Amino acid sequence: MMPFYLNLHPNVILLASIALGIIIYRSIRRSWTRRQFAKAHGCKPIARSLSKDPFLGLDLLPGTFRAIRENRILVRSLEFFKTHGNTFTVRELHVSAIVTIEPENIKTVLSLKFQDFCIAHRLKCMKPLLGEGIFDTDGDHWAASRALIRPSFNRDQVADLRSLESIFQDFFSLLPRDGETVVDLKDLFFRYTIDSATEFLFGQSVGTLKKSEAELGFADAFHYAQKAILMRGMLGPLEYFFPDRRAEECNCICRDFVQQFVDEAVNAVETRKAEGEKADPSSTRPKRIFSHELAAQTSDKTRILDELMNVLLAGRDTTASLLTNMFFMLAKNPAIWDKLRREVAFLEGRLPTYEELCNMKYVHCCMNESLRLHPVVPRNDRQAVRDTVLPLGGGKDGLSPIFVPKGTLVLYNLYAMHRRKDIYGPDADEFRPERWEDGKLMPRWGFLPFNGGPRICIGQRYALTEAGYVLVRMVQEFRSLVSRDPNEWEETRGLTVTSHNGAKVSLIPA
Ligand code: HEM
């Protein structure tokens, strides 16, 4: 039997040959241009690759699955940097990336060459829950989101501690005070932050601290919907073979729930506008509510809904994870608790003001140290939108620039960078808030719990106020915090990283 192509019309063969020729020519030209570009920038190849199998990185998979099962993904990554240096390449199934813990590379990705990188790959996993907003879009859409949201994070908004105290009281009422009973603070911190986030965003807390486990509908749905984002990210294109109906249901529950606050905000703003002309200018300014602030700037309800979902996701688990990780370590270090008590003693039991909170240096050292040792967002990535260059990682010594082809994922690992002994000293693996005390430690791009550059966390001040407030109030209320967990801190997988075993403590009142 003759091969099929011998039966084809000569014109078809000619056209196919031309097309093939064009493809080959373009590919040769691209690789030549890239070589010239890399040469002009003094780039050298990255000397080490983590995966031996260059196509699917199958050799890495058994270890990855084991590390996931044993909650050791981050710990395992430390070993990789020890054996492969600060920058290497990796391939695992559909993901191929450059991995780095060089502050200069991270600064280049996030700031100096901000326009060369994007997060477009994030949208696909997040859109079903979040829609399109500040956290999952790029370019003009992102810039408009940031401009829309930024005014709601000004100092006045963040400095109002009254609602934090009211939610703290709900939290406080659930704490045992006999010095014996063991309580896991993790669950309560997650409730605290969803209550305060919804109060801040919608003007009404969902009040999970006042509810029983069975009544936590929205919070549970939100939790599941977030886990599903992680799963979609892991599956990549395989997602279509593993449809998750529960995730779809939870996305709807969450979006429908938030939609009612959008409607309420748009109505409130319209009423305010209608009555605006008649308003008495001397009357006191109403409390500012995030959703109302957005509704005052746009009447596009989908936009408001999407931005609220984005900020809720960005702000809720992050702060709860910081609190859980920090209290886990504080419970293991009674001397640090005592020192905190000495710092807050000047308040003589009264509530701190915002300014006082900002000036409590040791409180901030403890938060910094927790975010250093257990960064809540321990790994992050960006994708190159054009051929570009990073300053370090090339050649045997890793000190030459590297070429980053368009489409490459650059993954940066803060968990490992925050433990670099050449940045933090020989005791980098220890929890020692004092290292921040005299202000001499200035790792700049070597310390990035809130990211950096134009996309730096917009809620940083709010988060530190919220976490600092809980810490100060707990220190005021309790003479000691006793760890009831014999284990070391262990990571847990999620969009953020929290102590796997929570923060099991018992509390002795002051
Ligand atoms: C300890 C608490 C927090 C930590 C460690 C944290 C960390 C981060 C990080 C690392 C990013 C960058 C993500 C990326 O671009 O890949 C980020 C972005 C963001 N964070 Fe936070 N965050 C915290 C709390 C909050 C809070 C409380 C809010 C709001 C109430 C918030 C709102 C946002 C928003 C809206 C973005 C997106 C900014 C943008 O892309 O322009 N964060 N945060």
- pLDDT tens for 73-99 read 999 999 999 999 999 999 877 778 999
Contact call for residues 152 and 287 (beta carbons, < 8 A): no
Ligand 1: does its nearest atom lie under 6 Å from the Cβ of 313?
no
**504 SS3 class:** strand
- Rounded to whole angstroms, the Cα distance separating 212 from 209 reads 8
pLDDT at 229 over 80: yes
The alpha carbon dihedral of 148, 152, 155, 156 has a sign of: positive
The alpha carbon dihedral of 82, 86, 89, 93 has a sign of: positive
Query: For residue 467, what is the enclosing H or E element?
Result: helix 460-477
Return the structure tokens found at 271.
């009423």
**In the chain, what are the helix, strand and coil shares in percent, each to the nearest 5?**
60, 10, 30
Ligand 1: does its nearest atom lie under 6 Å from the Cβ of 382?
no
The residues with which 483 forms a beta bridge, in sequence order, are 505
In tens, the pLDDT along 325-356 reads 999 999 999 999 999 999 999 999 999 999 99
Name the pLDDT band for 284 (thresholds 50, 70, 90).
low
Ligand 1: does its nearest atom lie under 6 Å from the Cβ of 315?
yes
Range with the poorest average pLDDT among 30-44, 48-62, 239-253, 435-449: 48-62
Where residue 444 falls (left for φ over 0; alpha for ψ -120 to 50; beta otherwise) is left
**300 SS3 class:** coil
pLDDT at 203 over 70: yes
Q: Cα Rg for the chain, rounded, in angstroms? A: 26
Name the pLDDT band for 51 (thresholds 50, 70, 90).
confident
How remote is the CA of residue 311 from the centroid of ligand 1, in Å? 8
* For ligand 1, atom 37: residue with the closest CA: 135
In tens, the pLDDT along 428-466 reads 999 999 999 988 888 999 999 999 999 999 999 999 999
The residues with which 498 forms a beta bridge, in sequence order, are 492
Q: Read off the pLDDT of each residue in 91-117 and give the average, rounded to a whole number.
A: 94
How remote is the CA of residue 342 from the centroid of ligand 1, in Å? 31
The alpha carbon dihedral of 413, 313, 121, 229 has a sign of: positive
pLDDT at 216 over 60: yes
DSSP characters over 314-383: HHHHHHHHHHHHHHHHHHH-HHHHHHHHHHHGGGTTSPPPHHHHHH-HHHHHHHHHHHHHS-SS-EEEEE
**Residue 96: what pLDDT?**
83
Ligand 1: does its nearest atom lie under 6 Å from the Cβ of 318?
yes
Sheet holding 117-118, edge to edge: 87-92, 95-100, 409-413, 379-384, 117-118
pLDDT at 283 over 70: no
pLDDT at 374 over 70: yes
Query: For residue 189, what is the enclosing H or E element?
Result: helix 185-202
pLDDT at 510 over 70: yes
**Residue 285: what pLDDT?**
55
457 is in an annotated binding site: yes
**Across the chain, what does the average pLDDT equal?**
92
Nearest to 464 by CA among 388, 392, 360, 384: 360
Buried b (16+ CB within 10 A) or exposed e, 207-220: ebbeeeeeebebbe
pLDDT at 280 over 70: no
Q: Read off the pLDDT of each residue in 202-214 and give the average, rounded to a whole number.
A: 83
Task: Provide the percentage of residues in the chain whose pLDDT is more than 90.
Answer: 74
- Rounded to whole angstroms, the Cα distance separating 149 from 311 reads 9
**Residue 279: what pLDDT?**
53
**305 SS3 class:** helix
Residue 19: exposure state from Cβ atoms within 10 A (0-12, 13-18, ≥19): exposed
* For ligand 1, atom 11: residue with the closest CA: 457
pLDDT at 240 over 90: no
Name the pLDDT band for 53 (thresholds 50, 70, 90).
confident
Contact call for residues 435 and 425 (beta carbons, < 8 A): yes
The residues with which 491 forms a beta bridge, in sequence order, are 499
How remote is the CA of residue 463 from the centroid of ligand 1, in Å? 9
Ligand 1: does its nearest atom lie under 6 Å from the Cβ of 433?
no
Name the pLDDT band for 395 (thresholds 50, 70, 90).
very high
Q: Read off the pLDDT of each residue in 182-194 and give the average, rounded to a whole number.
A: 95
pLDDT at 287 over 80: no
In tens, the pLDDT along 294-307 reads 999 999 999 999 99
**Residue 340: what pLDDT?**
98
How remote is the CA of residue 356 from the centroid of ligand 1, in Å? 24
Nearest-5° Cα angle at 38, 36 to 41: 105
How remote is the CA of residue 314 from the centroid of ligand 1, in Å? 5
Q: Read off the pLDDT of each residue in 288-298 and give the average, rounded to a whole number.
A: 90
